[in-house]
Structure 1
């Protein structure tokens, strides 16, 4: 089934360029909008599967629009595409109901894949931002969070222990440890143990 998309951005050339790129790659762009209020009205009329939303919409706020759209169209998923990678912007967008967050430096291929994954129900973030959101979720004890066992394994990975050493320490099988590591990488949208260690340090998980 073709994924329906609405593109919201206050810059006409950027808005139409993104819409064209998505259309050429098999998405059905059902609408575009230049600001927050019109994006809410148009979304209600067209009911797209995915709204690609900028945050800085001139006099209006993309965060406010996200909240309004999600409240009235709970099945519509919203992917932010913004020039800002500031932590407060990312967290505000996610708190309002955004499913993911990309910065505008993303390539066309990355954007297309992100829209496709968002439509499929995934949470998609520019590398480095997923860990920020997960850390905030852990602090608030909300939906997306590491399990206690994943956190325990993460602490030991960050201390330089191998999977075999962790398995021996926790009396687990090597395969189970690797499963926890892969699950943690997937949740954080990181790529390797080096990035896992950096995340653990940033979150203070290596302090004890």
Structure 2
């Protein structure tokens, strides 16, 4: 499913994906349309713009993942701002491309995301590392905030330097899949931290209910 509020851009992405052999089962121009069409079409991959009429791309990502944890969300946005990237990742997106990406980069990203791989650019790796450092340095403490292992940190640093997963695997003498798993684990931990924050907020506001786990 392709979600973008600019018809010409949306149609161009649909055309590129169709020509590459993907079946575009739905398209939408707003967050509301995307959420309405998702249950009936159940796409494997959603290519989603962040800046769409409400609910925005971050909120849509979170709701799609809540409805179907198997869906793969690839953000295709004009924004490369740190806050936007981190918000999308925390909401459950496993890929993030800026709209300056080439057609080949888009097709490659959809291919990888469809297989469950993470489209992790050097810039995104650097942002995630910075976010973990910020979490660890929070004066309020980080109890409940998941930490990165030494190997996960090492892998992210190498991604941030621009090394490919293949190069990292060769340098660390591990498999390509192991590198991929480390990268995916870092995303899951960041998403988990986001949920931990939400739970803390609910408890602080007296929104928690008894009987939950």
Shorter-chain TM-score: which interval? 0.5 to 0.7
Match of 1:81 in 2: 76
Distance 1:115 1:137, change over 3 A: farther
* 1:64 equivalent in alignment to 2:69: no
The structure richer in strand per residue is 1
Measured in 2, the distance between the counterparts of 1:76 and 1:63 equals 14
CA 134–122 in structure 1, closer or farther in 2 if over 3 Å, else same: farther
- Superposition TM-score, scaled by structure 1 size: 0.67
Correspondence for 2:166: none
Please state how far the C-alpha of 1:187 moved relative to its aligned partner.
5.5
CA contact (8 A) 1:78 1:97 kept: yes
Please name the residue that 2:91 is paired with: 96
Question: Does the aligned pair in 1 maintain the 2:118–2:180 contact within 8 Å?
Answer: no
1:2-81 → structure 2 map (5 Å cutoff)? 6-81=1-76
* Residues in 1 aligned to 2:3 and 2:37: alpha-carbon distance in whole angstroms: 10
Structure with bigger gyration radius: 1
Deviations 1:40-88 (A, max 9, x none): 1111110000000000003431111111111111111100000000000
Tell me the alpha carbon deviations over residues 81-133 of structure 1, each in whole angstroms, 9 at most, x when there is no partner.
00000000001011111111110011000000000100101110343112322
CA RMSD, 1 decimal: 3.2
What is the TM-score normalised by the length of structure 2? 0.66
1:106 corresponding residue in structure 2: 101
Tell me the secondary structure at the aligned position of residue 37 of structure 1.
helix
Provide the C-alpha distance between the structure 1 equivalents of 2:154 and 2:65, rounded to a whole number of angstroms.
35
Count of residues in Structure 1 that have an aligned counterpart in Structure 2 = 162
Q: Is the 8 A contact 2:14 2:24 kept in 1?
A: yes
Contact map agreement 1:80 1:93 (CA 8 A) in 2: yes
Structure 1 unmatched runs, 5+: 1-5, 156-174, 189-208
Structure 2 gap ranges (5+) = 136-144, 158-168, 184-213
Shift of 1:135: 4.3
CA distance in 2, matches of 1:185, 1:76: 18
Bigger CA drift: 120-129 or 61-70? Answer: 120-129
Aligned to 1:179: 173
Report the CA distance between 1:150 and its aligned residue: 6.1
